[in-house]
Chains A and B, each alone.
Chain A
């Protein structure tokens, strides 16, 4: 692996990790409908 590929790999890794972090913080994949299940169950 060339040095260039290594740096690119690290860079991509950082981008993916931060994107995943932001997605998690913003609850991007959360299904809002689930929040209402408790009302239905009662």
Chain B
């Protein structure tokens, strides 16, 4: 058992770990110190100027720093996010007095239920009935095999990509099921079939209602204000030390004769404000809890007139993880996730306008209210290497306001391109090379193709362009890295064998059953690390529901496959 902790990374996973150490193990907050580049990790959301000076962006100054920025448009799922909701019930909301962060989210969500009615749109057809999954018998068989594959056989899918799993069944990639699944969860065809199996298990309940996204729950505001701020405020009140602008670059490990005992004795870091190198000793009473991968590491920003540049950095988290794997054989293979950008990269954009012209046009075309949707636009011509149609881009129109400081006349919309090297349909260049303005032109083009009229959105293009405050493109080289094709042994366990004081947390760790790319799995990994070092039995972990073993749910999923 330990009495102090050093957290490398101040993202959701490690903040969760700290909350559980304080509340369940009754540690003094003063004994917990974070070292991190920033205090939000992947869970961001702020005015643009708050992020322009941060580590990954400060060498790429923007000429337009107005408007808002959130690199992701987040969806939660109460049914499966049990650890996240438990965590949020332990801290106070920063925007709703008298409510915990969980009550805040339940309250908002109950009043703004998700019911998507324009999940898929396609030129010439308008809104498509996504309820018709479009699966054939071969698709059904292969999906059923995934659902029937028990956890213990998961290694059969070691190093099998989704493209390989369905190699004899290219039809799968032409189904409404696939268009919705890939864009809801950000799976690419190069992603891991093993992870797809986990999703088919943990998200099986949502499989039955995927076209309406009724299982999707949302926070009142962006993730930083609704999730991270409550945690940060709580931890600071408890006396935790959150030291930012530090990039932890190397380890000292104890020398042992067998060379397999993992004991951290020191950390080297760079103060990114001063450039100075610093060293911290780690004593025997201290646990080191390390988030060994971040999907927003190396992410860069552009603006309305500038594309986001490419930053080739391996990432702060992954670089340090790699250093650890040079010492020990059982800590996984970071290259699987961080050396294949072609499998992991995507670009997103956050658009801020000073009036609601575009918002009203989207509402008219999609026939739904802001806050309820993820709209994906299907191409009308083949765009994949298999010569198939696929989704060009997707948008999330948030409930407005999405930021506490957003003015009533302003609108904020988020969108993303899952395959950033594909070329635009209306702007003749790859999405990754587009400015914020060009991304908006692409969006208007896609909306114009599905516009039921009588007055096409094109007629309002000038007014929309005039309304723009800013549109920030974000290049995230590792956005889907956590889904990269992998073997089970490629990720370290939360508590690796022979570790005396080092735990791994976040989205690049191996833990039972959990699917990743979820705030849920990040929180659970932190909880496991906390319980381990505090000597709390794992039976006290929040109970995980298993819908994949629930026969009525399975029956409904089977029926859905035939829709």
Residues of A within 8 A of B (CB): 22, 24-28, 30, 32-33, 35-40, 42
Contacts and interface: CB of A to CB of B under 8 A. Distances in A.
Contacts of B497: 42
Contacts of B548: 26
Q: How large is the interface on B (under 10, 10 to 19, 20 to 34, 35 or more residues)?
A: 20 to 34
B532 A39 contact: yes
A33 B548 CA distance: 16
Contacts of B513: 32, 35
A26 B544 CA distance: 16
B503 to A, nearest CB: 9
Contact of A28 (B149, B512, B537, B549): B549
A37 B65 CA distance: 50
Contacts of B541: 36
A39 B528 contact: yes
Contacts of B528: 36, 39
Interface string B538-559: 1101001010110000100000
13 contacts: A25-B148, A25-B149, A26-B148, A27-B150, A27-B152, A28-B549, A33-B538, A35-B512, A36-B541, A37-B538, A39-B528, A39-B532, A40-B532
Nearest to A22: B148
A36 B544 CA distance: 12
B549 A39 contact: no
Nearest to B537: A40
B493 interface: yes
Nearest to B147: A26
B546 A39 contact: no
Tell me the dominant secondary structure on chain A's binding face.
helix
B120 interface: no
Contacts of A40: 532, 537-538
B150 A42 contact: no
Interface string B488-505: 000001110101000000
A25 B513 CA distance: 15
B151 interface: yes
Given A27-B150, A40-B532, 14 more contacts: A25-B148, A25-B149, A26-B150, A30-B151, A32-B512, A32-B546, A33-B539, A35-B151, A36-B539, A36-B541, A38-B493, A39-B495, A39-B528, A40-B537
B290 to A, nearest CB: 16
A30 to B, nearest CB: 8
A6 B532 CA distance: 57
Contact of B150 (A25, A37, A38, A39): A25
Contacts of B494: 39
A24 to B, nearest CB: 8
B538 A42 contact: no
Nearest to B148: A25
A27 B532 contact: no
Contact of A36 (B149, B152, B499, B538): B538
Contacts of B493: 38-39
Contacts of A42: 495, 497, 499, 532
Contacts of A39: 493-495, 528, 532, 538
A23 B554 CA distance: 12
A31 B434 CA distance: 51
A38 B511 CA distance: 11
Interface in B373-411: none
A30 B512 CA distance: 13
B555 to A, nearest CB: 12
